[in-house]
Amino acid sequence: MPAQSLPDDSGVDVVDVAEASRFEVRLDGETVGFADYLRTDALVVYPHTVIDPAYNGRGLGSALARAVLDDARERGLPVLATCPFIAAWMARHPEYLALAYQNRSRVTD
């Protein structure tokens, strides 16, 4: 199913609430979902994302995913998406796959 795009006048905002380590998606000022994060100077991890079930199917999850990944891109941070939603969204949008964290450690004998 293709991602739904929201009109510019949709009343949807995605806000970084740094003190809570999460992005919130707001519809007409009401928080209807969020994506928790752990951010360092070297990496951002997205462990958990929630959209209120009453708002499913409106493209709010996609708006949230796009915003958090655009933020990581702007910061130059690789993304470790342990949240199944964010990981699946990245897989469906190849323009974001370059952000995926790649473990560079090696085991030697």
Sequence-separated (6 or more) residues with CB below 8 Å from residue 43: 77, 78, 79, 80, 101
**DSSP for residue 100:** B
**CATH number of this structure's domain 35-99:** 3.40.630.30
The predicted-structure confidence for 92-108, as pLDDT tens digits, reads as follows 999 999 999 987 666 66
CB 35 within 8 A of CB 48: yes
pTM (two decimals)? 0.84
Considering all CA atoms of the chain, what is the largest pairwise distance in Å, rounded to the nearest integer? 59
- pLDDT for 5 beyond 70: no
